[in-house]
């Protein structure tokens, strides 16, 4: 008889990644039951499950109160909280993308319940809501070997309920870290699974020091990042260094959208203008590919302005894109420009020259150049050979032109890269854990 594994996906992006990359075929001795929001026949069994509106709203309110109470846990938590709940007495502000500010009533209610006592009371109320959900969800399967819970850091009452419910039945719950920064910047864990599979020792440290996690951690790498390591090893096995700097006679620059369309426009406009004005003086011609941020809206007006820029090509991710396509795009680039994106880590694994253009950030009372060391998940990245920070447009174009002139080959320390994401066969690690 097959062992049963229950799996929950918080959103369609994670689900698509798992359908593309997860080793389901190697786990044919398991029956995978998907619980959540989908009915497309892609799993052995699919169970629709959503909590009530009351549970959802109470759970979200608890998380907002937790965020305000623990806002000093990291630079990103503080920035995120101040985006939701601005305070005119604050002497600094860090831009972390577009965040909708809370109105006066929301701000007042969250502030009034964000004390330790208020949060303890809210936790009790949410557990009462979970008990109600348990009573109305008697059809949830109980003969399960393990519950797999990919963790994105997003607020999900279903994720917390399933963790709480199956832990009460003494069934193992395995959370799997999906994003690099979601343990140091997104939400605070409310219900803690019995096991947590993380990218690396860095993430396990964030679990213990920021999330107060006391369960079992396993550093397994990441099934998406694993492909970058595989290509790194393949390139390193080539018998000799390439005679040419790249396969093309121009500098291919990949610019990753940061989620703030106006900042993207500012960056691309300044780069396009420089290339056009100084084209005769450049060590090598430059071409820019702009990849839109996959989770943020950009207006048609801004998109139209970007499309008119010279030397800039827009790449918009589609639902049919695969992880291998994303890897190939980085491999085809000579330089990657991004603001604190995971793509910086992935590109560094492939020994690409990376630049963080902090000058496009609209920060008050804070030197953005320090963020490369102050962001918890980025701390240590400045030690990499191929990573530079540009505090001005002049610095950015100097770095680009200097890199094109030198045509240098970068080799980043694999031990340092492993601190951020282990170079492991994540698929085999997950099979072993199951």
Reported as a single tens digit per residue, the pLDDT across 144-160 is: 999 999 999 888 999 99
- Whether residue 418 is contained in a domain is answered as no
Q: What is the pLDDT of residue 405?
A: 60
Does one domain contain both 314 and 356?
yes
Report the distance separating Cα 200 and Cα 421, nearest Å.
5
What's the angle, vertex CA 88, arms to CA 96 and CA 76, rounded to 5? 25
In angstroms, the Cα distances linking 276 to 50, 248, 268, 305, 352 are: 53, 19, 12, 16, 24
Cβ-contact 52, 133 below 8 angstroms: yes
Four-point Cα dihedral 388, 372, 426, 30, nearest 10: -140
Q: Are residues 318 and 276 in the same domain?
A: yes
Judge whether residue 244 has pLDDT over 60: no
pLDDT value for 243: 45
Q: Distance of alpha carbon 190 from its chain centroid, rounded? A: 20
pLDDT of residue 281: 67
CA 326/CA 227 separation, integer angstroms = 10
Same domain flag for 209 and 251: no
pLDDT digits (tens, 9 = 90+) for 280-293: 766 678 889 999 87
Most confident region among 63-72, 268-277, 307-316 by mean pLDDT: 63-72
The domain in which residue 283 lies consists of: 242-408
Of the pLDDT bands very low, low, confident and very high (cuts 50, 70, 90), residue 402 is confident
Is the pLDDT assigned to residue 101 strictly greater than 90?
no
> pLDDT for 51-63, tens place per residue?
999 999 999 999 9
- Say how many domains are in the chain: 2
Which CATH number fits the domain that encloses residue 335? 3.40.50.2000
Domain of 160, CATH number, reads 3.40.50
Contact predicate 130/162, CB 8 Å: no
CA–CA separation, 356 and 31 (whole Å): 44
SS3 345: helix
Q: How far is the C-alpha of 37 from the C-alpha of 12, rounded, in Å?
A: 9
Name the nearest CA neighbour of 189 among 8, 66, 35: 66
pLDDT-based confidence at 97, cuts 50/70/90?
low
Does 161 have pLDDT greater than 50?
A: yes
Q: Are 404 and 283 in contact (CB under 8 A)?
A: yes
User: What's the confidence (pLDDT) of residue 346?
Assistant: 96
For 174-197, the pLDDT digits (tens) are: 999 999 998 998 889 999 999 999
Entry pTM: 0.90
Report how far residue 348's alpha carbon sits from residue 293's, in angstroms, rounded to the nearest whole number. Answer: 19
């Amino acid at each position: 008889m097959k062992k049963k594994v229950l799996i929950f996906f918080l959103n369609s992006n994670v689900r698509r990644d798992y359908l593309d990359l997860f080793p389901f075929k190697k786990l044919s001795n398991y029956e995978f039951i998907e619980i959540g929001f989908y009915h497309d026949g892609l799993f052995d069994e699919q169970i629709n499950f959503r909590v009530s509106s009351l549970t959802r709203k109470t759970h979200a309110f608890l998380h907002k109160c937790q965020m305000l109470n623990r806002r000093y846990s990291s630079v990103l938590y503080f920035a995120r909280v101040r985006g939701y709940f601005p305070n005119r007495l604050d002497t600094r502000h860090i831009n972390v993308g577009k965040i909708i500010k809370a109105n006066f009533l929301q701000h007042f209610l969250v502030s009034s319940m964000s004390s330790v006592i208020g949060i303890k009371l809210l936790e009790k109320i949410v557990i009462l809501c979970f008990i109600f959900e348990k009573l109305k969800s008697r059809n949830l399967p109980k003969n399960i070997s393990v519950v797999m819970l990919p963790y994105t850091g997003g607020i999900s009452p279903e994720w917390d309920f399933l963790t709480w419910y199956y832990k009460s039945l003494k069934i193992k719950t395995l959370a799997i870290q999906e994003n690099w920064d979601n343990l140091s910047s997104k939400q605070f864990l409310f219900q803690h699974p019995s096991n947590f599979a993380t990218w690396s020792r860095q993430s396990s440290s964030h679990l213990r020091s920021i999330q107060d996690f006391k369960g079992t951690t396993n550093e397994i790498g990441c099934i998406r990042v694993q492909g970058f390591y595989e290509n790194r090893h393949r390139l390193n096995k080539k018998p000799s260094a390439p005679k040419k700097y790249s396969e093309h006679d121009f500098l291919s620059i990949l610019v990753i959208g940061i989620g703030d369309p106006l900042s993207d426009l500012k960056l691309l406009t300044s780069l396009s203008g420089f290339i056009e004005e100084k084209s005769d003086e450049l060590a090598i011609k430059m071409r820019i590919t702009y990849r839109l941020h996959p989770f943020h809206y950009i207006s048609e007006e801004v998109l139209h302005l970007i499309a008119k820029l010279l030397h800039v090509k827009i790449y918009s991710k589609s639902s049919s894109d695969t992880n291998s396509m994303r890897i190939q795009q980085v491999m085809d680039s000579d330089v990657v420009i991004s603001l604190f994106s995971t793509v910086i880590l992935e590109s560094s694994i492939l020994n690409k020259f990376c630049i963080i253009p902090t000058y496009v950030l609209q920060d008050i009372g804070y030197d953005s150049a320090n963020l490369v060391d102050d962001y918890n998940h980025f701390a240590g990245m400045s030690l990499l050979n191929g990573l530079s920070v540009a505090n001005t447009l002049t610095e950015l174009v100097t770095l680009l032109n200097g890199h094109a002139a030198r045509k240098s080959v970068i080799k980043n320390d694999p031990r340092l890269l492993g601190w951020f994401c282990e170079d492991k066969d994540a698929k085999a690690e997950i099979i072993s854990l199951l």
